[in-house]
Amino acid sequence: MSFHLFISSFSTILLGLASALFWGAGDFSGGLATKRTSAYTVVALSQFVSLVLLILSAFLIPEGNLTVQDMLLGGVAGLCGALGLVALYSGLARGPMGVVAPVTAVVAAIVPVGVSIFFEGLPEVQQIVGFGIALVAVWLISQTGNDTKISFRDLELPILAGIGFGLFFILIDRVSDNAILWPLVSARIASIGLVVIIALLKRQIEAPALQLLPLIALAGIFDTGGNVFYALATRIGRLDISAILSSLYPAATVMLAWIILKERLTLRQWIGVVLVLLAVVLIAV
């Protein structure tokens, strides 16, 4: 492996892990906020914070050769991500969290991996093994320890959510190399509009308590970081590696709950944490 290729691969891994860390922290912050107010309110407000940050960043860091296609791809990616969020929250409200969360994360990773293999060819053998271990790790980490019978009805919404997130991964990857921030701005505008419309139709918009606003803003800040780091990872390296590593975000959420909320981790979750480390090593080799 040449030095340039090594640096590119190493940077992709670091950026992918950074996106997982930020997305996981965003889910942790948003999850705490949704315990006290509507999930749609948290999503809409946190994404508004994200939109403001992205617009400011786009003006401060000029990007060249931005095309209408880039903005359209960003907008469609935002719609897919928003539909994924709606399906995810609906699934969490209807089915067991220990099933909904891991199925969503695994499907969200599998979809871009399949597309990447089709367009970019197979990765190295040890990386494929790492992908498989990473998917198992995400499943184990997301388990709550409750043995729950799984029906097909429980899988419908998380599969749809995973497809929505997976399409977001793919579409952001297809944006030109010279444009990152403005397509993400377009994605945020589209996703906010769709979430607000659905929330109004379901009458699930409510004003949050003032003490929740910092937590909601924090969710938006972390989500912005996750999106930017993921977009940068796909610019530098392969889509499948970026998507798999970014999909490890449940590990960050669970570990933050363990550290901050003192939640006890089950044996399955600890095994999942160890497998995450093994998967990262295999993907990085």
Residue 76's pLDDT is what? Answer: 95
One-letter amino acid for residue 221 of the chain: I
Tokens representing 240 are 């499948």
Residue 78's pLDDT is what? Answer: 92
Q: What gap in Å lies between CA 212 and CA 46, rounded to an integer?
A: 11
* Dmax (CA) of the chain: 56
Q: Taking a C-beta distance cutoff of 8 angstroms, is the pair 50, 188 a contact? A: yes
216-243 pLDDT per residue, tens: 999 999 999 999 999 999 888 888 888 8
Tokens representing 134 are 């990473």
- Tell me the domain boundaries of the chain: 3-284
pTM over 0.85: yes
Residue 109's pLDDT is what? Answer: 87
243-272 pLDDT per residue, tens: 899 988 888 888 888 888 887 888 888 898
Residue 166's pLDDT is what? Answer: 92
Residue 179's pLDDT is what? Answer: 82
Ramachandran bin of 121, using left for φ above 0, alpha for ψ from -120 to 50, beta for the remaining angles: left
Q: Tell me which H or E stretch contains 269.
A: helix 267-284
Residue 226's pLDDT is what? Answer: 92
Tokens representing 205 are 């918009």
Inter-CA distances, 158 with 91, 99, 193, Å:
6, 8, 22
Q: What gap in Å lies between CA 203 and CA 41, rounded to an integer?
A: 11
**Residue ranges of the chain with per-residue pLDDT less than 50:** none
Comparing CA positions, the residue from 253, 251, 84, 46 lying closest to residue 169 is 84
